[in-house]
Structure 1
Amino acid sequence: MTAAIGTEPAVGAPSGRPGLARRLLRRPLAAGALLYLVAIVVLAVCAPILAPHGPQESDLAHVLATPSADHWLGTDSLGRDITSRLMYGARPALIGVLVTVVVAAAIAIPIGLAAALAGVADRIVSPLVDLLMSIPAIVVLLMVLATFDQSLVAAMAALGVLTAPGLVRVVRAAALMVAGEPYVAAARVYGFGRFAIALRHVLPRIVGPVLVNLSLVAATALLTETGLNFLGLGVHLPEASWGGMVADASAVMNQQNWMLVPTGAVIACTVIALVLFGDGIRDATAEGWARPVAPARTKRSRDTVKGVRPARRGAGAAPADRPPILLRVDGLTVAFPGADGRPVPVVQDVSFELGAGQTLGIVGESGCGKTMTGRALLGLLPEGARVTGGSILVNGADATAMSRRERAGLRGSTIAFVSQEPMAALDPLFTVGAHIAEAVRTHTGAGRAQARERAVRLLGRVRLPDPDRVAKMYPHQLSGGMAQRVAIALALAGGPKLLIADEPTTALDVTVQAEILRLLGTLRRETGMAILLISHDWGAVSELCERTLVMYAGQVVESGPTATIITAPEHPYSEGLLAANPQLGTPGTALRVMPGGVPSPGEWPPGCHFAARCPYVMDECTAHPIAMAGTAEHAGRCLRVAPSPKIEARP
């Protein structure tokens, strides 16, 4: 079925996603806030070198002076340079902010995660948080200052403790939403402990709201530190501090108003910069889940690159009238580590190809390796699973040889995915339009307004009535059919060339199933994308797919045109599936059900995997592995299929 590849041009691997810093700098407000904060830190750290005057140096000839060449921002009531004192005064302000944020985060994040993931901890944490939030902060700060000889560090650490309960609530609420996701439940089934789940699965998803709230804590800490110094309770005079400078300026307002302007402006701008920087970090972090594929580049033929072996099926190149090959899978084998440390295959020697605009179905019972094959194509195998053999070529680039970042660049922009549970792809905190607009911005770099317009157009493309109204709805307001259409629209946001649909109609009623299948067919014709449909439903496959792979116990046991397999199957397993399908049965006649079940990985027999259930089994079937036989057009893994010179048998 897989043709030899000769000198077919191919595209290279994607260049990968830009880093966090680059995504942050693409946001003007966040980039400006970052540059401002960096400048403040540099001026504070390098104040002894950069300051034009000492912080206590007086120029009695120019008291309360306005800006001049000698004093860029003027002088205070003692003739001290305001520019220099602002630079030195930034030191205690930044230290106070840092101490408060570190203490609040160190307390709130682990406690909030524990409360969300452990019911016992939640019963203790929630009442304690309510109690701590009722304590008056100013009273505690005054007590700490009195106890620790007006130590600013001690006061700001106490402020971190006092602000932590509010942050605990934010972390707990965000983590509770993520803890109910299917992938978190799956992690528990896999045996991960609470610490691993919190660190690897929950915390990355809630980093956005946590960072935003930490930026607010930082702004509050700065204002509190300034207020304490304004009252003379922090930095001891005559040391420079922003709060102390505000106090000096307020004392001489009747004589000169200028002194308050630079000091107040620096404090206000720093507070605003902290908040904008937090927002920017949140947005840049959220954007990092996918990137578009880089422009194509020419590559040598597959036979001469990285020592990849030539295709084993077919000798010639694809005919000129066939569409270009988008996906070529050759000898794919996926395995999990076994109890003895040796790999246990769950997908074995799977080969097929899919051209642009074509449709291919993968059919089989549960446990046959259909979904694992699809996850291997996406690069989203479960923990522990890995590709141990074969290759996956996407537009000629070997995905199995790509880095994790390059592989992630394929998802969404080249290969998209639609699951049987659309709600798993939708965050309940955001509207439908926000979901799709964010994906559009991520893959295309469009502005917010353009992304919103594109989101509405995509909702219209998937045949949702009144797409403007649907864009404003939340996931819980959608029916099953609407949610599946939204999931398809979300998958189309990056303009993918291949759509992998894993049982997309299983959870829907019969009428909606037919509508979704017709929609997928229409989208294929309109966009030219290829579709790989994973299903156990012959009716869905026959309606949508031109060709079909039948999989059993990790192997492809038959491949060919869908209509040919349905009318003249060559493998006994295909016969059994078709005979048990109600849509293909005869009214009044009992369906024939195959005995037994699919053997588990690690229990596959050395010969034909279907031998224990096959009505035609012979001694030769269990003696050795069975090769694919037949033609490149229609082949089967069965001794009853006569070998053909058009296809090379292989174990």
Structure 2
Amino acid sequence: MRVPRALRTAGGVLSAAWLVFLLLASVTASWWLPYPVDAQDPAHTLAGPSSSHWLGTDDLGRDVLSRIAAGAWISVGPAMLAVVVAFGIGIPLALLAAEHGRWVEHGFSRFAELLLALPSIVILLAFVGAVGVHPWAIMTVLGVLLSAPVYRIFLGQAQSLRTRLYVDAARVNGVSSLRVNLRHVLPAMATTIAVQAAQLFAISVLIEAGLAFMGFGPSVPSPSWGGLIAAASQHVYDDPWLMVPTGVVLALTVIAANGLADAVAGGRERQPATPRHRKPRTIVPAATGGTHDTEGMLLDVRDLTVAVGSPDGPALVTGVSFALPPGTVLGLVGESGCGKTMTARALPGLLPEGVEVTGGSVWFAGRDSAGRDAAGRDLAGLPDKELQAIRGREIAVISQEPMVALDPMFSVGYQLTQPIRRFRGVGRAEARRIAAELLGQVGIVDAGRMLRSYPHQLSGGMAQRVCIALALTGSPKLLIADEPTTALDVTVQAEILSLLRALVRTTGLSVIIVSHDPGVVADLCDEVAVMYAGQVVESGTVAEVLGQPAHPYTAALLAANPHVAEGLPVPERLPSIPGTVPAPPDWPAGCRFASRCSLATAECAAPVPATPAHGAANHGAANHGAANHGAANHGAGTVRCVHPLSSPAELPVPHPVERGVPS
């Protein structure tokens, strides 16, 4: 049985244990009380703790432990009732308002605002004056009053969940509105419900105790925590201990409820992985050794290894090497799961929780504190604090999901001017002027209107242009674009690619573009590195790699590309690569593509080291053994292939992808 995350921390375990113990003790109190609740011992009044009375006695000689236990249910039970009533009213109203739209939402919201405007304590005291002291009825009224904040809390979440695609899909499939709420909306709100319920329970316990302290609790001699504290306050000078037991129990209950709420809220995001602010990593040096000759290179990646957790965890990327001169566009190509995004995110240190660089080096020629070009430094060994000074200023990232990268709560102008002021140290007016210039630079005509717009008012293409402008706010030298055209239609894709080409030409930016589309790479990139199962299997210039592929995987990718040059017949069926990319734990010791390669032999099962040469200019997929099939120069960081291709005709490859033919 899987343990809930809230119970995987000491605070969560202790809080839950105390609340469960308290509930069980209050329900079963009549079975185990050491003394009857009203039993008096006149010879031992206001006595301290003893073997006969563990928590002492009150002014009438009654056992304090028995009275605290007996009064627990009248303090805890009505508080639980108030929470049930509050959620029983607030959540259905929020679901109905989210489902039925504007007019229903307006009506329910006005009702909630009316309840919020009423002074709760005054209403409760008026109710007591009208109907008398009935704790369960009083807490029912409190639950009605608390339903207003519950409604306000869950309305926004319910409205957001009703717009999700899986909810639309369920409605299209004929699922009733009630079942949509029960199956899709409520389960997604479960964590928030648990957190708010625990907090409201703590508030209700305090309110019930406060009313009982003022005399609006159970009638004498029935005990309640508030009444016990009120009685103890009469003897605060002659017997201060009398207030301690009940006060501690009440405080522990409230603390436990809030502690459980914190544990539930934190458990949703907590991962069993390395914390974000972790100690500096121990990086295994690149296998090439010696000094790094990075002259003329903006970025020089050598033997990069990315693994889960530690060097002993499963590797996601192994031995990746490539170099990037200034003003050059490099494409990382491969199927999903080949390690392209992990490689790109490792450069600025933006790997997910629990994933880290465990080997190799990432040498980057950035800027010094004065803004001048500086000597190369190894980003793989830098702590997160130093990487913060590089991100945005020297290396920027464009996400493949522009609507996720932009915060829906803030205008485009705010999201652009804030990083401009932080990176460039200018005032608000100057930052707004620079933001308008950046929007014009990315092809947005009406910059003033765009600065006033919010992300939900933008189309996909416009949002991606804003994300590109956001990436340029720090005047970076390197731009990493992770599938920047995936979520866009074909026409907008062409516009974004044209924009990136213009930026490279006019600003001298270097770009690393992650893509699974050879057409995008052919249209935009100068050099390409083909990745498969966490390795670079072939690298070189676009003309060499896409025009004369040397590795069977590159040829197979081109064969599956749905673009046929003009004048050639359209095949009845495009070739496809059988199988899928193996998961990191399943990588074989030999060629990782062998199980899907039509040229594979028994020799492919032998371990295959990467070539020691460096630099992406030399093209090829190197071989080992005598049979080289005509392969000549071999690119750095590529994996040795037993059967490199001397001609693309060896695999069913259609006409090579031509530069300038976008996807």
Identify the TM-score tier after normalising by the shorter chain.
0.5 to 0.7
Q: Deviations over 1:427-458 (max 9, x none)?
A: 22222222211221222222111111111111
Classify the secondary structure of the residue corresponding to 1:410.
Answer: coil
- Partner letter of residue 341 of structure 2? T
Residue 312 (structure 1) shift: 2.7
Question: What residue number does 1:589 align with?
Answer: 571
Partner of 1:492: 472
Q: Partners of 2:163 and 2:361 in 1: how far apart?
A: 32
**Structure 1 residues 379, 178: closer, same or farther in 2, change over 3 A?**
farther
Deviation of the 1:329 alpha carbon: 1.5
**1:140-219 alignment runs, 5 A limit:** none
Cα 1:646/1:579, change in 2 over 3 Å: closer
Q: 1:599 aligns with which of 582, 591, 600?
A: 582
Distance 1:176 1:394 in 2: 46
Residues 535-544 or 465-474, more deviating: 465-474
Distance 1:358 1:388 in 2: 27
Does residue 312 (structure 1) correspond to residue 303 (structure 2)? The answer is no
TM score, norm. by length of structure 2 = 0.53
Deviation at residue 141 of structure 1 after TM alignment: 11
Partner of 2:620: 635
Whether contact under 8 Å (1:433, 1:452) holds in the other structure is yes
Contact 2:116 2:149 in 1 (8 A): no
The yes-or-no answer on 1:564 pairing with 2:553 is no
Identity, in percent, stands at: 46
Q: Which residue in 2 is equivalent to 1:334?
A: 306
Between the aligned partners of 1:307 and 1:630, the Cα distance in structure 2 is: 21
Q: Tell me the residue number matched to 1:421.
A: 401
Could you tell me how far apart the structure 2 residues matched to 1:582 and 1:626 are? 33
| 8 Å CA contact retained: 1:354, 1:360 | yes
Q: C-alpha offsets along residues 172-214 of structure 1, whole Å, 9 cap, x if unaligned?
A: 67877998999xx9xxxxxxx999988xxx99xxxxxxxxxxx
Counterpart Cα distance in 1 of 2:384 and 2:637:
34
Residue type of the alignment partner of 2:608: P
| 1:498 and 1:529 in contact (8 A); partners too | yes
TM-score by length of 1: 0.54
Change (3 A) 1:448 1:407: same
What is the aligned partner in structure 2 of residue 620 from structure 1?
603
CA 405–165 in structure 1, closer or farther in 2 if over 3 Å, else same: farther
Q: SS of 1:507's equivalent?
A: coil
Letter in 1 for 2:360: G
Q: Secondary structure at the match of 1:635?
A: coil
Report the CA distance between 1:576 and its aligned residue: 0.6
Shift of 1:481: 1.2
Q: Determine the structure 1 residue equivalent to 2:12.
A: none
Q: How does 1:333-372 map to 2 (within 5 A)?
A: 333-336=305-308, 342-372=312-342
Q: What's the CA shift for 1:536? A: 0.9
Q: Which residue of 1 aligns with 2:388?
A: 408
Decide whether the 8 Å contact of 2:559 with 2:575 is kept in 1. yes
- Structure 1 regions of 5+ residues with no counterpart? 1-106, 147-160, 186-192, 204-305
Aligned equivalents of 2:145, 2:96: Cα separation in 1: 18
What is residue 430 of structure 1 aligned with on the other side? 410
Instruction: Report the CA distance shift for 1:376/1:310 in structure 2 as closer, same or farther (over 3 A).
Output: closer
Is the Cα contact below 8 Å between 1:576 and 1:594 reproduced in 2? yes
2:263 — aligned with what?
A: none
**d(CA) in 1 for partners of 2:596 and 2:610?**
18
- The letter of the residue matching 1:346 is L
Partner-residue secondary structure (3-state), 1:556? strand
Q: Is the 8 A contact 1:497 1:530 kept in 2?
A: yes
Is the Cα–Cα contact under 8 Å of residues 283 and 359 in structure 2 kept in the other structure? no
SS in 2 for 1:548: strand
Structure 2 residue identity aligned to 1:328: D
SS in 2 for 1:582: coil
Partner of 1:68: none
Partners of 2:428 and 2:418 in 1: CA distance = 8
Indicate whether 1:384 and 2:357 are aligned.
no
Q: Secondary structure at the match of 2:389?
A: helix
1:369–1:554 CA contact under 8 A, matched in 2: yes
Report deviation, 1:380.
2.0
Of 601-610 and 632-641, more deviation after overlay is shown by 632-641
Q: Which amino acid aligns with 1:327?
A: L
Q: In 2, Cα distance between the equivalents of 1:372 and 1:121?
A: 44
Q: Distance in 2 between the 1:386 and 1:180 partners? A: 36
Q: For residue 513 of structure 1, what is the aligned residue in structure 2?
A: 493
Residues 499 and 529, structure 1, Cα contact 8 Å, conserved in 2 = yes
Q: After alignment, is 505-514 or 163-172 more displaced?
A: 163-172
Please report how far the alpha carbon of residue 588 of structure 1 lies from its aligned counterpart in structure 2 after TM superposition. 2.0
The 2-side partners of 1:615 and 1:485 are apart by 42
Give the counterpart letter for 1:360 in structure 2. Answer: L
Distance change (3 Å), C-alpha of 1:606 and 1:399 = same
What SS does structure 2 have at the residue aligned with 1:557?
strand
Instruction: Write the deviation string for residues 208-257 of structure 1: whole angstroms up to 9, x where unpaired.
Output: xxxxxxxxxxxxxxxxxxxxxxxxxxxxxxxxxxxxxxxxxxxxxxxxxx
**Does the CA contact (< 8 Å) of 1:629 and 1:636 recur in 2?**
no
Q: Which moved more, 1:469-478 or 1:583-592?
A: 583-592
Residue 552 of structure 1: CA displacement?
0.5
Letter in 1 for 2:359: G
* Cα RMSD (Å): 4.5
Among 418, 421, 428, the alignment partner of 1:441 is 421
Counterparts of 1:235-384 in structure 2, within 5 Å, are 309=285, 312=288, 317=293, 322=296, 325-336=297-308, 342-384=312-354
Q: C-alpha offsets along residues 444-477 of structure 1, whole Å, 9 cap, x if unaligned? A: 2221111111111111000112222222222222
Q: CA deviation at 1:485?
A: 0.7
Mark the runs of 5 or more structure 2 residues left unpaired by the alignment: 1-78, 98-107, 130-142, 168-186, 197-281, 366-375, 641-663
Cα distance between partner residues in 2 of 1:121 and 1:626: 64
Determine which of 505, 509, 520 is the counterpart of 1:540.
520
Counterpart in the other structure of 2:43? none
Letter in 2 for 1:588: V
Bigger relative contact order, structure 1 or 2 (CA pairs below 8 A, ≥6 apart):
1
SS in 1 for 2:430: helix
Looking at structure 1, the residues matched to 632 and 611 of structure 2 have their Cα atoms a distance apart, in angstroms, of: 8
Distance 1:616 1:534, change over 3 A: same
Greater shift, 129-138 or 492-501, is seen at 129-138
SS of 2:414's equivalent?
helix
Contact persistence 2:322–2:637 (CA under 8 A): no
What SS is found at the alignment partner of 2:416? helix
CA distance in 1, matches of 2:555, 2:459: 36
> Counterparts of 2:313 and 2:614 in 1: how far apart (Å)?
32
Structure 1 contact 364–550 (Cα < 8 Å) conserved: yes
CA distance in 1, matches of 2:160, 2:328: 37
Counterparts in 2 of 1:517 and 1:343: CA distance versus 1, 3 Å: same
| 1:648 CA displacement | 9.3
Counterpart-to-counterpart distance in 2, 1:570 and 1:621: 16
Verify the 8 A CA contact 2:332 2:513 in the aligned structure 1: yes
Q: Evaluate the alpha carbon distance shift between residue 315 and residue 437 of structure 1 in structure 2; reply closer, same or farther with a 3 A threshold.
A: closer
Identify the range of structure 1 (132-141 vs 498-507) with the bigger mean alpha-carbon deviation.
132-141
Matches of 1:413 and 1:486, distance apart in 2: 17
The residue identity in structure 2 corresponding to 1:489 is: A
How many angstroms apart in 2 are the aligned matches of 1:420 and 1:496? 19
In the alignment, the residues of structure 2 paired with residue 386 and residue 631 of structure 1 have an alpha-carbon distance, to the nearest angstrom, of 24
Distance 2:351 2:496 in 1: 27
Structure 1 position 342, deviation (Å): 4.7
Q: Give the drift of 1:547.
A: 0.5
Cα deviation digits, residues 326-367 of structure 1 (max 9, x gap): 2221111112259xx951111111111212211100000111
User: Match of 1:493, SS?
Assistant: coil
Structure 1 equivalent of residue 592 of structure 2? 609
Residue type of the alignment partner of 1:488: I
